[in-house]
Structure 1
Amino acid sequence: MGRPRKFDPEVAVERAMGVFWRKGYAGTSPQDLVDALGIGRGSLYNAFQGKNQLFQRVLVRYHDQEAVRLIELLDRPGPVRERLRSALETIIEADFADPDRRGCLAVNTAIELAGRDEEATRLVRRMFDRLESTLRALVEEGQRSGEIDRGRDPAAVAGFLLSAINGMRVLTKTAESPDQLRRIVDATLDLL
């Protein structure tokens, strides 16, 4: 009979997310994870089978927590442009409030691992696809209400908005002030 686990795997995934988000996948060593999770190496591998499998669980957790928050902001009631501006400004505020300026874990993962790690690529693509689908629905709603030009292709506009959001998440890492990104928000909304 095996010994009972002395740690909560869900808490471990949450802590691991902080490490991967701050250091990246390649920059995170198994020892970093052991130290952050407060468990032995054997427990790490017994619970998660390895660093890559733990990282996959982290990406799923990130989607369920962080990515869904943005989608919820976009899905709430109110004028489309106001919801979009609010969501974009929330991103700026959250990213600048983070002392480590980690940006977005999904964007960071796409930059670091896309094309090299099939499962990480699939999980990030799933997040981007879900956000783009939400943005497309928002654009279509804005076209029906007259807030967004009806002559624009909703899929193309949603792709543009996704690119603007992801680009802002990268720029946050080096921007000197939130005003630099607020100008991008203004320009993005002007283009609709």
Structure 2
Amino acid sequence: MARPRGFVEERAVDAAMRAFWAHGYEGTSTQDLCEATGLGRSSIYNTFASKRELFEKALGRYIELKTAAALELLGGELPAREKIRTVLWWAVEPDEQDPLGCLVVNSMVELAPHEPAIADRLRRDQEIRLAALIAAIEAGQRAGEIAADKDAESLARFVVATISGLRVLARSGADRAALESVATTALTAI
């Protein structure tokens, strides 16, 4: 019995997400996508109109997964400093099954400068995560965990920039000690 199309499409999007994450948009060929998804070239193009459509779905899936996890953590009951430590350590100790780096950061560098639709999508996602981080920092300030005289938005942007930098460092081969030292330094600034 054949698998439902939705199941095949979902698995293909997840596999493509990992391929684009590991190699970037331009660096991922149709053959790479065939190998990653287990689908033939014609099946990929019958399911997705183009490599670009598959990339957009894969990027959407990545954003959905990563942003949902961040929002759950940042809206949870942990103390604010522990929330910030956790998001930093997601970059220090990524899941061993995941490619290095970050598909969002990679796409910001590779595609956003000349792809307005991608840039807008990434900006909207960043605004959502930034708002959640600001809210967590402000809650930490009200609780006395974080100095009230520090600007919550500036701190949140600093954390986002640090996480992006950690992802780039990891992708460029930095070892855990280097990543941990950056994250620890960032925590002392908050």
TM-score past 0.5 threshold: yes
Let me know the Cα RMSD of the aligned residues: 2.1
2:76 corresponds to: 76
* Cα deviation, residue 118, structure 1: 2.1
CA deviations on 1:30-74 (whole Å, 9 max, x unpaired) are: 222123223232322222110111100001100111232233222
Which amino acid counterpart does residue 35 of structure 2 have in structure 1? D
Which stretches in structure 1 are left out of the alignment for 5+ residues? none
Asked if the contact 1:56/1:119 (under 8 Å) is kept, the reply is no
Which amino acid counterpart does residue 188 of structure 1 have in structure 2? A
**Following the alignment from structure 2 to structure 1, what is the Cα–Cα distance between the partners of residues 103 and 89?**
18
* Cα deviation, residue 98, structure 1: 5.0
Matched, 1:93 2:83: no
Which amino acid counterpart does residue 92 of structure 1 have in structure 2? V
With over 3 angstroms needed to count, the CA separation of the structure-2 counterparts of 1:99 and 1:5, relative to structure 1, is closer
**Following the alignment from structure 1 to structure 2, what is the Cα–Cα distance between the partners of residues 32 and 175?**
23
With over 3 angstroms needed to count, the CA separation of the structure-2 counterparts of 1:104 and 1:147, relative to structure 1, is same
Question: What secondary structure, in the 3-state scheme, does the structure 1 residue paired with 2:164 have?
Answer: helix
Matched, 1:24 2:27: no
Asked if the contact 2:92/2:183 (under 8 Å) is kept, the reply is no
Question: What secondary structure, in the 3-state scheme, does the structure 2 residue paired with 1:172 have?
Answer: helix
Higher relative contact order (CA 8 A, sep 6+): 2
CA deviations on 1:124-165 (whole Å, 9 max, x unpaired) are: 222221211111101111111111121222222211111111
Asked if the contact 1:12/1:37 (under 8 Å) is kept, the reply is yes
Q: How many residues align?
A: 187
**Following the alignment from structure 1 to structure 2, what is the Cα–Cα distance between the partners of residues 160 and 131?**
13
Matches within 5 A, 1:1-192: 8-94=8-94, 97=96, 100=99, 102-192=100-190
- Which stretch of structure 1 is more off in the superposition, 58-67 or 168-177? 168-177
